[in-house]
């Protein structure tokens, strides 16, 4: 199935125009945009993962959301439609393939193609729900429950490949706080930590801790 099939029914001429856009490969670690940049186009992710981070004046960082195939970047959508510059930074988390719909084409399709407009607005609504859930977690859930939930979500075969700084960004906390909580988890026998990895030893205890989140 082509990436174009993820969009609601569109006219044949528009389908041909979109399919003529070139695919691009972006490598892990590349920066797609920074705070203050203007949105140049609407990116469709075909494979891989792009993460959007927000950094405060103190240097504290939070992962706002990740964009994977079938998902959208709310900052890009709002930037294209409202003309506002980016406030976050997008980093390529894994090698990815993308197609970029240029700004002029995006705005024209929003105005003239109901199927495309429906696709964009539906994706924007889903992404706004994700951001709202993040705000709810940061505002109301304890560090312990957020960290436990993040470890469970990120684990692959009971192993999490992430630095403490990455975990802190994931849950919207400081690295020093995450270090202390991981030490507590380790003393309790829930995890074992090593440089850049966390091994889950008691998933049941982590699930109980994570269940305390809203």
What phi and psi, each to the nearest 5 degrees, are found at residue 188?
A: -80, -10
Q: How much is the pLDDT for 210? A: 87
CA–CA separation, 199 and 152 (whole Å)? 10
The two three-digit tokens of residue 23, written as one number: 């695919």
Could you write out the DSSP letters of every residue in 138-192? HHHS-HHHHHHHHHHHH-BTTEEE--HHHHHHHHTS-HHHHHHHHHHHHHTTSEE
Q: Does 214 score more than 60 pLDDT?
A: no
Q: Does 129 score more than 80 pLDDT?
A: yes
Under the banding of pLDDT at 50, 70 and 90, the label for residue 213 is: low
**167-192: pLDDT as tens digits:** 988 888 888 889 999 999 999 999 99
Cβ-based neighbours of 36, under 8 Å, separated by 6 or more: 85, 86
User: Percent of the chain at pLDDT above 90?
Assistant: 55
Under the banding of pLDDT at 50, 70 and 90, the label for residue 131 is: confident
The two three-digit tokens of residue 178, written as one number: 């995450």
Cβ-based neighbours of 97, under 8 Å, separated by 6 or more: 23, 24, 25, 26, 45, 46, 47, 48
Q: What is the mean pLDDT of the segment spanning 200-211? A: 91
**45-80: pLDDT as tens digits:** 999 999 998 887 777 788 888 899 988 898 999 999
Q: How much is the pLDDT for 4? A: 82
| Nearest alpha-carbon partner for 6 in 49, 57, 68, 54 | 68
Mean pLDDT of the chain: 89
Report all structural domains of the chain as residue ranges with CATH numbers, in order of start. 3-139 (2.60.120.10), 141-210 (1.10.10.10)
Q: Does 211 score more than 90 pLDDT?
A: no
Q: How much is the pLDDT for 1? A: 59
| Nearest alpha-carbon partner for 131 in 74, 90, 199, 72 | 74
């Amino acid at each position: 199935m082509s990436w174009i099939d993820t969009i609601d029914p569109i006219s044949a001429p528009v389908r041909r125009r979109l399919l003529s856009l070139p695919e691009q490969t972006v490598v892990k670690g590349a920066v797609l945009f920074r705070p203050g940049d203007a949105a140049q186009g609407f990116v469709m992710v075909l494979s891989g993962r792009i993460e959007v981070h927000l950094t405060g004046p103190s240097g504290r960082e939070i992962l706002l959301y990740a964009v994977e195939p079938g998902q959208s970047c709310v900052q890009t959508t709002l930037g294209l439609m409202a003309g506002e510059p980016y406030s976050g930074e997008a980093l390529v988390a894994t090698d990815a393939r993308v197609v970029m719909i240029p700004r002029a084409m995006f705005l024209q399709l929003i105005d003239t193609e109901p199927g495309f407009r429906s696709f964009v607005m539906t994706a924007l609504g889903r992404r706004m729900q994700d951001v709202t859930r993040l705000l709810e977690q940061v505002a109301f859930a304890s560090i312990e429950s957020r960290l436990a939930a993040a470890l469970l979500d990120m684990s692959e075969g009971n192993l999490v490949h992430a630095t403490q700084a990455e975990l802190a960004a994931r849950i919207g906390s400081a690295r020093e706080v995450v270090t202390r909580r991981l030490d507590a988890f380790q003393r309790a026998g829930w995890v074992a930590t090593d440089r850049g990895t966390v091994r889950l030893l008691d998933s049941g205890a982590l699930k109980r801790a994570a269940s305390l989140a809203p």
